[in-house]
Amino acid sequence: MSINKDQIKYLSLLSRMDIQESEMNDVEEKLSKIIDFVDQLQSIDTEEIQPMAHPLNQFQRLRADKVIEENNRDKIQKNTKSTDRGMYIVPKVIE
């Protein structure tokens, strides 16, 4: 399958890319090669090939999830200028 200049102009319009007329032949050739390569990939018989989840046999070591309930509100709120009943008091920023 090949691509023509009208299709390239349409693609450049969709992608908001400015392809100059002087570059058109080069772009046409490169896009045609890409499309031909994809066609080759699609024609390969993969019926008896097992799908891979990941190409490398590596596993990530994960820590065990542990629920830790800590209430540090008083300790944290000592770092602010003013609080009221556990809430931060900040200056008004919206008129």
pLDDT digits (tens, 9 = 90+) for 2-19: 788 999 999 999 999 999
Three-class DSSP labels, 4-29: CHHHHHHHHHHHCCCCCHHHHHHHHH
Query: DSSP 3-state assignment of 88?
Result: strand
Q: Where are the domains of the chain?
A: 5-42
Average pLDDT over every residue of 16-24:
92
pTM of full prediction above 0.85: no
pLDDT digits (tens, 9 = 90+) for 40-69: 999 999 999 888 777 777 778 888 888 888
- Between the alpha carbon of residue 84 and those of residues 44, 72, 92, 93, the distances in Å are 69, 16, 15, 18
Beta bridge partners of 87: 84
